[in-house]
Every structure is written in C-alpha cells, then in structure tokens.
C-alpha cells in the first residue's frame, strides 16, 4: 500500500485547557520542520484532536516515518487512507479494499472501532462498527471478530472526510519543541551530553549548545565530532546554534596557577561561567549537562556543589541518577553512540591530574581561584567574544 496520508496522535493530557492551541500549533510547526528534509511536498494541518500529514506526491514511507518518529509530542503515527464521504455502502467497500490490500488472505482477529468527530453522520459509531464488521466477515473468511483483544483494530474516523487505518508506529512522545522555553547544553564529544540534550528537548525545550575546545591540543576532528553530535541532537530538537569556545588559554592559565588536583573542578567552574554568559545572551532559562552522580571525580556530590556554586541560573542534569549502561542504551536508540565513541581527545582529558580531588571544598577552591588575578577576566572576555557560532539544522 502506498500511503499518502498520516494521522498523528498526541497525548491528550498535554493539551488541556488554554495551552491546547499552543501545543497543537507547536506540533504542526515541528512536523513541518521534520518533513522539510523528506522528498515531496506535504500539507500539514490540525483538526480536533489530530494533526494530519497529507501529500499528493509519491513519497518514501520509511523516510516519512524516520522524520515523524523524531518529532517530540507525537504518541502515534498512523498511515491512513482518506475517503470522501460518498455514502455508507461506498465506505464499506473502501474498507474492504483497504483490508484486502493490507492483509490479503491473512488469518487474524479484528475489531472495527468507529469514531464520529462529525456528529451529523447518519449512523452512530455502534452501527458503523457492526455493519462494517459484517461486511469484512463476508468478504474475508479468514478473519474473525474479537472485541476484547483483536489483532487488528480497524479504525474509522468520521471527520469532514473519513480516515481508515489499522496500523500505528510509536512516536517519540514528550512535548513539541518550542513549548518549553530555551536552555543551553554543554555539549562535549562524550556519550552523556548528547543524551542529556535529547532528554531536555523532549520536554519541549529549544536548545543551543556550547563546546569548549583547546586547539592545538584538541584536533579539528574532535571539533567535527561535536558538530556531528549536535546534528544528531538537532534531528530531534530542531535547529540549534553551536557556540565553540577556544578554551586553551584559560585552561593553560589554570594549569599554571592552581593546584594540580583542583584543575578539573576549577576548569569546570569556568566552563559553567562561560556557558552561563552565553546562555543569558541567548535568552536561555537554564544550562544542561550530562553529569551523573559519582560517574567521575568531578561528579561527586561535593564536586557538583563546587561546580554549581558559580551558576545563577538552574542547571538541568537529566542523567543525574542514571547508570552509564542506561545512558548508553538511550544514546544507541537516538543514534549518537557510534559518533560519541570515536576516539578523539577531549579538552577535559588533556590536563588531568593523576589524583583529582573527589571531595573539593568550595572555600578552598575559591581561595585558589584568587591566584588567577585579573588576567582571567580578560581571557574570559576574549573566549566569549571570539567564539565561533555554527548554525546546525
Ligand atoms: P560526556 O560523556 O558528556 O562527555 P563525561 O562523562 O565525559 O560526559 P565530564 O567530562 O566530567 O563527563 O563532563 C561532564 C559534563 O560537562 C558533560 O556531560 C558536558 O555537559 C560538560 N562538558 C564536559 N566537557 C565539555 C566540553 N569540552 N565542552 C562542553 N561541555 C563539556
Ligand atoms: Mg566528556
């Protein structure tokens, strides 16, 4: 069957009350955005409780599904046939044609599930169910009715036009991007931060990303890897700006002026400060990191306290209670894992201490940061103002 229409379902819970139109409009926008990269032209519009995707072109089903399954806010995508209302007999005939094409002589149980969004249709749902069911039984000797646990739900939605479908592909769920403000993701080349970005975008949040690199100690290829990861996250979150900060000078200065075992913590405090400066410029309401308690020395509760202490906006850490294996599973699911494990150096790993503090004390860290004098402010300004900004879409 060559499908030219898709019915998109979303969770009713998200669209209660006054926010309903906002949610639906954001979903329509995100669906349109996702389909831009698919060959063909699409008409995307909403009716009561549904978003519709229709085309007159011959489109690649897998490509359409690949795009739609990455749109947050969708619970199910149902490839459907669309019929004009040409009377009930014609409807029954069309349903049987549909069943023949999709299921042939398959032996299966089914149930007809009619729903009238248009109440002036001459038959009520129960009558439609019974009569269409009979016609299916007449035409397909291998089909049986099972009203409790049917293998096939034959759905008929009566709207301005009539939609018949029996298949559903699971959507990405969550909330449409654009319904939840904006946040700035600290995106490294690792496994965790792309997953963290994905998870926050899933709640409807628009994302910008910041990457700290340290040329010539970190290579162009390491940077390209982060660009590639941003592109993978953007498949779900939509376009983002990737801010690339040259961190070399600051990192070197910290290395020269601060105790070795505190390098990572002090460096991370500077990353957060810079990320927050950029976040405020681009009107982000929070930062996002891929931190998880205890994963490394810089992610103990004491270290997180120290890192967090420099931030004045919320830091969202969606992976905070996740085991590495759980994070890997999500990264495999969203398609970032293969890129994340490419073996390029990261700026955090270049100047690492053999024995970093695992229980840093904020007051001591602050005292040692005073070694950095006013030069650090100039370096900070320079790192922010000379950043490269790449548009990812
Ligand atoms: P990841 O797998 O995301 O790299 P990680 O386990 O390597 O994380 P850390 O290196 O301690 O952990 O980094 C913790 C978090 O800090 C990362 O998840 C990321 O949000 C941020 N971060 C670390 N390095 C960088 C970097 N070079 N640029 C931007 N953000 C970074
Ligand atoms: Mg990392």
Distance CA 94, CA 81 (A): 9
Pocket test for ligand 1, best of 186, 243, 353 (most atoms within 8 A of CB): 186
Helices (H), ranges, 69-141: 88-103, 125-139
Which residue, among 193, 163, 218, 367, has the nearest Cα to 289 in the 3D structure?
193
Over the chain (393 residues), what is each successive 10-residue block's mean pLDDT? 96 76 94 96 95 97 97 98 97 98 96 94 96 98 96 97 97 95 96 98 98 93 96 97 97 92 94 98 98 90 96 98 97 97 75 82 93 91 98 95
Pocket test for ligand 1, best of 192, 300, 339, 383 (most atoms within 8 A of CB): 192
> Options 3.30.2130.30, 3.90.220.20, 3.10.105.10, 3.30.565.10; which CATH number does 5-170 get?
3.30.2130.30
Would you state the structure tokens that stand for residue 155, as one six-digit string?
Answer: 């759905």
Task: Count the neighbouring beta carbons within 10 Å of the beta carbon of residue 119.
Answer: 7
Q: What is the pLDDT of residue 17?
A: 80
3-state secondary structure of 75: coil
Distance CA 73, CA 75 (A): 7
DSSP-assigned states of every residue in 236-270 = HH--EEEEEEE-HHHHHHHHHHS-GGGHHHHHHHH
Query: CA angle, corner 103, sides to 100 and 109, nearest 5?
Result: 110
For ligand 1, is residue 270 a contact (CB within 6 Å)?
A: no
List, in order, residues 6 or more apart from 352 with CB less than 8 Å away: 263, 264
Distance CA 391, CA 18 (A): 33
Closest protein CA for atom 16 of ligand 1: 289
For ligand 1, is residue 219 a contact (CB within 6 Å)?
A: no
Identify any residues that bridge with 184 across adjacent strands, giving them in sequence order: 208, 287
List, in order, residues 6 or more apart from 307 with CB less than 8 Å away: 265, 268, 269, 272, 298
CA of 387 relative to ligand 2 center, distance in Å: 20
Does 182-392 match 5-170 at the fold level? Answer: no
Task: Count the neighbouring beta carbons within 10 Å of the beta carbon of residue 226.
Answer: 26
What's the CATH code, domain 182-392? Answer: 3.40.50.620
Q: Which ligand is nearest to the CA of 194?
A: 1
Distance CA 273, CA 377 (A): 11
For ligand 1, is residue 198 a contact (CB within 6 Å)?
A: no
For ligand 1, is residue 188 a contact (CB within 6 Å)?
A: yes
- CA distances (Å), origin 94, targets 90, 113, 132, 137, 345: 6, 15, 10, 14, 60
Question: 26-55: string of b/e by CB count within 10 Å (b at 16+)?
Answer: bbbbbbebbbeebeeebebebbeebbbbbb
For ligand 1, is residue 318 a contact (CB within 6 Å)?
A: no
CA of 255 relative to ligand 1 center, distance in Å: 19
Q: Which ligand is nearest to the CA of 183?
A: 1
Check residue 47 and report its DSSP letter: E
For ligand 1, is residue 197 a contact (CB within 6 Å)?
A: no
Domain spans, the chain:
5-170, 182-392
CA of 186 relative to ligand 1 center, distance in Å: 7
Q: What is the pLDDT of residue 349?
A: 66
For ligand 1, is residue 251 a contact (CB within 6 Å)?
A: no
CA of 300 relative to ligand 1 center, distance in Å: 14
Let me know if 255 is exposed, middle or buried by CB neighbors in 10 A (0-12, 13-18, 19+): middle
Which residue, among 188, 235, 228, has the nearest Cα to 210 in the 3D structure?
188
């Amino acid at each position: 069957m060559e499908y030219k229409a898709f019915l998109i379902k979303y969770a009713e819970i998200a669209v209660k009350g006054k926010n309903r139109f906002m949610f639906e409009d954001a979903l329509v926008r995100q669906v349109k955005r996702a389909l831009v990269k698919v060959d063909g032209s699409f008409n995307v519009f909403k009716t009561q409780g549904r978003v519709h995707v229709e085309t007159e072109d011959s489109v690649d089903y897998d490509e359409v599904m690949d795009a739609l399954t990455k749109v947050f806010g969708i619970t199910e995508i149902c490839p459907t046939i669309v019929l004009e209302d040409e009377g009930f007999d014609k409807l029954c005939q069309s349903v049987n044609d549909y069943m023949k094409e999709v299921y042939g002589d398959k032996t299966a149980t089914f149930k007809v599930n009619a729903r009238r969004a248009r109440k002036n249709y001459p038959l009520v749902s129960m009558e439609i169910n019974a009569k269409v069911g009979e016609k299916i039984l007449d035409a397909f000797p291998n089909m049986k009715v099972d009203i409790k646990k049917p293998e096939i739900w034959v759905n008929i939605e009566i709207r301005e036009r009539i939609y018949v479908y029996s298949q559903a592909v699971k959507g990405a769920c969550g909330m449409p991007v654009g319904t939840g403000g904006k946040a700035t993701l600290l995106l490294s080349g690792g496994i965790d931060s792309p997953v963290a970005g994905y998870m926050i975008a899933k709640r409807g949040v628009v994302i910008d990303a910041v990457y700290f690199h340290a040329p010539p100690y970190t290579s162009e290829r390491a940077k390209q890897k982060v660009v590639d990861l941003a592109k993978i996250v953007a498949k779900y979150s939509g376009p983002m700006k990737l801010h690339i900060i040259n961190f070399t000078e600051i990192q070197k200065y910290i290395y020269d002026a601060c105790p070795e075992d505190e390098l990572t913590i002090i460096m991370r405090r500077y990353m957060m400060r810079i990320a927050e400066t950029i976040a405020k410029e681009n009107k982000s309401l929070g930062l996002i990191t891929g931190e998880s308690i205890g994963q490394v020395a810089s992610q103990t509760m004491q270290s997180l306290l120290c890192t967090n202490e420099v931030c004045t906006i919320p830091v969202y850490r969606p992976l905070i209670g996740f085991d590495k294996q759980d994070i890997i599973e999500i990264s495999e699911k969203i398609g970032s894992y293969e890129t994340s494990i490419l073996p390029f150096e990261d700026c955090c790993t270049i100047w690492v201490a053999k024995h970093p503090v695992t229980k840093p004390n904020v007051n001591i860290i602050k005292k040692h940061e005073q070694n950095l004098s006013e030069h650090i402010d100039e370096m900070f300004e320079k790192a922010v103002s000379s950043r490269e900004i790449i548009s990812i879409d």
